Structure 1
Amino acid sequence: MKKNIVVLFGGNSSEHDVSCVSAQTVIKNIDIDTYDVILVGITKEGKWVFVDSIDAIADGTWRESKVGAAISPDTTKKELLLFKDGTYESKKIDVVFPVLHGLNGEDGTVQGLLELAKIPYVGCGVLASAVSMDKVYTKAIVEKLGIRQAAFVDVRLEMLDDMEEAIMEIEDQLDYPVFVKPSCAGSSQGVSKAHNKEELEAALKLAAQHDRKILVEETIVGREIECAVLGGRDVKASGVGEILAAAEFYDFDAKYNNAESRTVVDPDLPADVVEEVRDAAVKIFKAVDGFGLSRVDFFVTKKGNKVVFNEINTLPGFTAISMYPMLWKARGIETDKLVNQLIELAYERF
């Protein structure tokens, strides 16, 4: 008898549209001889709905669904509830693949619901998801590992009530240019590069629209390198890939809207640098209590080839330009095998 897998996508986050694209890749690569795939979309407003086809995701009509959906947190049930016209039906859930990026999906919230329900799910648990989503707390963990990372200042929203003092504190610790990032946003949403005081103020205000915690970092001049991590008790790192951004930095627009941005698998790097990146990726993944998958991002400085940690993503993209599946494909793991291996790891974790 087939098992039921629920694929969650969309989400009440700035990465909603990216999630919808990633979900289509995942859905197409699930083994349908083993699983009946049930699609549940979460609108930008946070409404959960049953979706009847992958075509509805592609054309966006899924958001018009009249069938509501909810995962019961009742441990004894392990079921999906579908609501329509004052009635409901339930479907048994064997496993969930939350293809959700960013807040309210990749940050431990949905993972907490699934933990309550005792339903196996793909990816990292509550702790790893939460601390990895929060760039400030990730930095605190990585600092203990002795892995090099950019110098930073942690800015809280209330500090911006006195913008002049907040800027002075940043300028006391960092030289321009600096990067300003919301601590808990993904896909480079709300990220700016500030070259002076006026740009810094504007960047802080933009980041504050996305999060109450803001990370201000020194600029690292180097190549943007990414490494994929896969596994549970036995963790493996892929080779590395390089981001060649068409813009000054790899922001949301450069990533998804600029065709001149490119990703390169197995770039020309010294072998010892590649191994340092791979080793650091696994150490960071384990330090945050990762399980299943993550993509760990680094810089390699142009001067001296020094490896500098940037951030970790516990549910990386599965779009056509996403590095995570590309890196494993380069190691002989096709996307269908990768997706189904991730599902098997969900059972291993439970």
Structure 2
Amino acid sequence: MSKPRVAVVFGGRNSEHAVSLMGAGSVLQAIDQSKYEVIPIGIAQDGRWVLASENQRFAIESGQLPVVQDTGAELALPSGSLVALKPGAIPRELGAVDVVFPVMHGPFAEDGTIQGLLEMAGVRYVGSGVLASAVGMDKAFMKLTMGAAGLPVGRYVVVRERDWRLERDRVLKEAEELGWPVFVKPARAGSSRGISKAHDRASLEAAVELAREHDPKVLIEAAIEGREIECAVLESPGDEPPLASQPGEVIVEGGQEFFDFEAKYYPDQMSLRVPADLPAKVSEELRSMAVRAFETLGCEGLARVDFFYTPEGKLIFNEINTMPGFTSLSVAPQLLAASGIGYPELVDHLIQLALHRPAGLR
């Protein structure tokens, strides 16, 4: 029998392009090629799909972030079958794809767009579906949803394009009522892109403008004093409940004020303490809340759920990431490794879940 064909898709049209490549490089190394036929596909920054080159770079080298290389071999995915396109040439059929592993982050990728494309093409894929991906990506709707599910959520203000143009004073006043400092984020971006900390009105305006470079919709959040604790949640096969990992505490070591892009992706900028030093009761409560967040959105595959643990002993939900950073050294894989699930096993588990999941509505 032929091996299942797995298309690993990476890149995309957003500021997390390089982060996607770093994760894809780890996935491509970890996939058991005796078990699967693997097709690496890059989405260039202009949106073109290309068959990846053997020389494609996936890691940061000499401080330079990786990008999808233009190989000239453009691809299309009509009805689940890959077709190679070259200018002036007859389209070439590359064969059907059994499952897509979208190692992608941010808008036009993790936010339900590629999931919707794959649903329309009738192709199974790794990870959450359209709705969970879209709500998980939009921090404003995410917080509304989690608050409705009974999870404790910090205070925040949503800044939409029209609000900022026509009612800036009202927005700034509402943000000031949160108390200083505040964190300002693009509503639909990840990897800490476009995030900054504001201590007064002047720095707040600058922070909103920075966030708007990534997304016209912006979130201003009250600062929460506490330790950052994260938990990975993994879908189980069959009717078994999702597995919550051991909680881990993120320790920023590079001198940054918060867990920013450099702390996440450059060497020696952060460490992860697993298990986190928490009372047993708090640890169990956090794991239970992480599973509740996963099930509230209807997530599939893998998610990472982030909390703050305050000095008063309270847990506050921060966010859920339906396609978390996915290098072998990223937080979610490290949390699961500490819980007994190694990286190659995790990659295989996610592919098998997708292969056995029915296509279409579920």
TM-score range, shorter chain: over 0.9
What percent of counterpart residues are identical? 45
Alignment of 1:1-350 (within 5 A): 1-53=2-54, 55-58=55-58, 63-72=69-78, 74=79, 78-85=80-87, 86-90=89-93, 91-161=95-165, 162-171=167-176, 173-231=177-235, 233=239, 234-245=241-252, 246=254, 247-257=256-266, 259-301=268-310, 303-350=311-358
Q: 1:291 to 1:31 in 2, by over 3 A?
A: same
Q: CA RMSD in A?
A: 1.5
CA distance in 2, matches of 1:299, 1:258: 24
> Would you say the 8 A contact 1:11–1:44 is kept in 2?
yes
> SS where residue 49 of structure 1 aligns?
strand
Matched length: 343
Uncovered stretches (5+) of structure 2, i.e. residues with no partner: 60-65
Q: Which amino acid aligns with 1:297?
A: D
CA distance in 2, matches of 1:100, 1:61: 13
Deviation at 1:259, TM superposition (A): 2.2
Deviation at 1:166, TM superposition (A): 1.9
> SS where residue 208 of structure 2 aligns?
helix
Q: Which amino acid aligns with 1:330?
A: A
Q: Which amino acid aligns with 1:169?
A: E
Deviation at 1:104, TM superposition (A): 1.0
CA distance in 2, matches of 1:62, 1:101: 14
Q: 1:22 to 1:50 in 2, by over 3 A?
A: same
Q: Which runs of 4+ in 1 moved over 6 A?
A: none
- Taking structure 2 as the reference length, the TM-score comes to 0.91
- Write the deviation string for residues 8-65 of structure 1: whole angstroms up to 9, x where unpaired: 0011111111111100111111121221100110112212111143x42337585130
CA distance in 2, matches of 1:177, 1:112: 38
CA distance in 1, matches of 2:56, 2:131: 33
> Would you say the 8 A contact 2:138–2:187 is kept in 1?
yes
> Would you say the 8 A contact 1:163–1:201 is kept in 2?
no
Deviation at 1:333, TM superposition (A): 1.0
Deviation at 1:208, TM superposition (A): 1.2
Uncovered stretches (5+) of structure 1, i.e. residues with no partner: none
CA distance in 2, matches of 1:39, 1:261: 30
Normalized per residue, which structure has more strand? 1
CA distance in 2, matches of 1:300, 1:277: 9
